């Protein structure tokens, strides 16, 4: 294990490979990934950023309904942006928190079938406020099902790890390891992606209310925007 058990999220220890300028600062944590895979990931993340900009413009023009932005969160989102052969993706769930129950149920079935399948599901701050989320996590641990929970909270009794959600290399390394860990019958794992949103939560928000337009905010955004930093690294 390179990551699990080596970084304690309760001590705010976070897996990072790149610094704010896109330079490799922890070469020992570099995942086994080819240059071609890195380039493909960058293309997807860059496309996501451009799509957000385009959709936001269309929404402001009244040509598009409300949508949720992922600007600044491309690194951890890219992991689920495409489905390779053998991967089944479910559509987004509108009922907040219910995806955890569904993921746990599917993982229970995969364990029963002895398929070797692993289930990955995500949620944000809202999902961690729902009781159903914790019921699902409790059931998953009780039955040691092969599921990876990705969110912004840490639960006791289950292996957990915190990763820089804006650092693609750190994310892909951690996720490859935890997926293999749960695939080998070790039960669920919690992954906290410490990420940073560069814009509004959705097109229904007014980000000016909680994101001041000043030099300090611009510097803070630039510090966390590894997608742009990677262009110059």
Sheet holding 160-164, edge to edge: 119-122, 147-151, 189-194, 160-164
Residue 98 lies in a domain: yes
pLDDT confidence of residue 232: 42
Known catalytic residues are 197, 201, 210
Token pair belonging to 180: 């293999």
Contact in structure between 143 and 111 (CB atoms under 8 Å): yes
Residue 3 lies in a domain: no
pLDDT in tens, 145-155: 999 988 744 44
Residue 182 lies in a domain: yes
Band (pLDDT 50/70/90 cuts) for residue 167 is confident
Residue 29 lies in a domain: yes
Residue with more model confidence, 25 or 209:
25
Q: Count of domains in the chain? A: 1
Residue 145 lies in a domain: yes
Domain at 147, CATH number: 3.40.50.970
Residue 4 lies in a domain: no
Average pLDDT of the chain? 82
pLDDT confidence of residue 181: 92
Q: What number is the average pLDDT over the span 101-124?
A: 92
Domain that holds residue 184: 9-231
Residue 210 lies in a domain: yes
């Amino acid at each position: 294990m390179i990551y699990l058990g080596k970084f304690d999220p309760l001590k705010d220890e976070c897996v990072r490979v790149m610094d704010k300028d896109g330079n490799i600062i922890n070469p020992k944590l570099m995942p086994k990934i080819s240059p071609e895979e890195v380039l493909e990931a960058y293309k997807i993340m860059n496309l996501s950023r451009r799509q957000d900009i385009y959709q936001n413009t269309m929404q402001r023009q009244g040509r598009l309904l409300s949508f949720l932005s992922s600007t600044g969160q491309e690194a951890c989102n890219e992991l689920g942006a495409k489905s390779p052969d053998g991967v089944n993706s479910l559509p987004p769930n509108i009922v907040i928190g219910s995806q955890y129950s569904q993921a746990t149920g599917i993982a229970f079935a995969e364990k029963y079938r002895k398929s070797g399948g692993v289930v990955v599901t995500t949620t944000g701050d809202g999902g961690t406020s729902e009781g159903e989320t914790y019921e699902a996590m409790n059931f998953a641990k009780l039955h040691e099902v092969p599921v990876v929970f990705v969110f912004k909270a840490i639960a006791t009794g289950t292996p957990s790890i915190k990763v820089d959600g804006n650092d693609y290399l750190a994310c892909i390394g951690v996720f490859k390891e935890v997926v293999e860990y749960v695939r080998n019958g070790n039960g669920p794992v919690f992954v906290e992606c410490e990420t940073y949103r560069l814009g509004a939560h959705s097109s229904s928000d007014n980000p000016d209310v909680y994101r001041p337009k000043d030099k300090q905010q611009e510097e803070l955004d630039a510090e966390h925007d590894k997608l742009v930093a990677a262009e110059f690294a």
